[in-house]
Amino acid sequence: MTRAWRIALLLGATAALAACEDSQGFDFLKKKDTSEAALAEAPAAEGVETIEREVEAPDVFQASEDGLWDGRPSLGGVWVAYPGVKDPERVVIRNLSNNKTVIGALFRRERDNPGPKLQLSSDAAQTLGMIAGQPTKMSVVALRTESVPVAKPTISKPDGTESLPAPDAIEAQPLDPISKAKAALDKSAKPSASAPAAAPAPKPTQVAAAPARKSSSLSKPFIQIGIFSVKANADNTATSLRGIGILPSVKEGSSQGKKFWRVIVGPSGSSSERATLLKKVKDLGFNDAYFVTN
């Protein structure tokens, strides 16, 4: 092989390597993935996000029968008690006589007194417009949280493009960069008689860092004091707890257009700490307090 042929082969190999780099290697030889899994990960899915909402879960709990408020004030906010309930649940309570609804908690009824099985708290009765001592047709359904896909809003592009007006003509003037810069420096160096002296910069204030939230290995490290349909009642309960050394949190929620406020304390780092806190809370009169996830 002559030297000319060798040079020609080297030039051809170099051109081939350059072509591979321009096309990002040999990916053009790979077969395109048209499987369903690949199509599911297509960029079109980027326009969908999920939100959480509460929906009724009649398979967990549902009762449609007479309810009663005995007229006595009660602690714990909005709640209803029913015999045989195993675990506390978040429920939607409806007064079927006037279609008023409220979100509250469901507990097990300890005393099996004669009369309607559904026993309501004073806060629940007042919100639902119930009369003390008068049985009222009620509906109580458990709530569960589910994730629902929601399409992101798209921004439509204009059909045409607007042309911008031509810029005004700028007259070119010769500049002396050295003299202009010297004059600007001399002017900035001279203090102005009318300008007030610059005030000293304030010293940065140190902001106390918020206490770090304790981590817990418990599945339900918080204790729910009550659910309230009126924010002022939740705030008053939280204030009374702070006065005796318990630090509560007031969390706002909503379901089916109805707002409610939950008062919780925690999280507890261990089962013994949580049990001590629960006993302290119940000693204050919040006998319906129970463990929750958050």
Q: Which parts of 152-289 are beta strand (E)? A: 222-228, 248-255, 258-265
Q: Are 93 and 140 in contact (CB under 8 A)?
A: yes
**pTM of this structure:** 0.50
Residue 90 in tokens = 């978040």
pLDDT at residue 59, as a whole number: 93
Has residue 150 got a pLDDT over 80? no
Report the SS3 class of residue 246.
coil
- Position with higher pLDDT, 70 vs 288: 70
pLDDT in tens, 163-190: 555 555 555 555 555 555 555 555 555 5
CA terminus-to-terminus distance, the chain? 81
Higher pLDDT: 14 or 54? It is: 54
SS3 113: coil
Q: Residue 148: what pLDDT?
A: 65
**Between 267 and 39, whose confidence is greater?**
267
Q: Check whether 144 has a pLDDT greater than 90.
A: no
pLDDT at position 85 is 92
C-alpha–C-alpha distance, residues 286 and 255, integer Å: 24
What integer pLDDT is reported at residue 67 of this predicted model?
Answer: 95
Compute the average pLDDT of residues 123-128: 93
DSSP characters for 134-146?
Answer: --EEEEEEEEEEE
Of 247, 277, 274, 275, whose CA–CA distance to 263 is shortest?
Answer: 247
What mean pLDDT do residues 127-137 have?
92
Can you tell me whether residue 257 is helix, strand or coil?
A: coil
Q: Please, what is the average pLDDT of the chain?
A: 74
Condensed to tens digits (0 to 9), the pLDDT of residues 82-99 reads 999 988 999 999 999 999
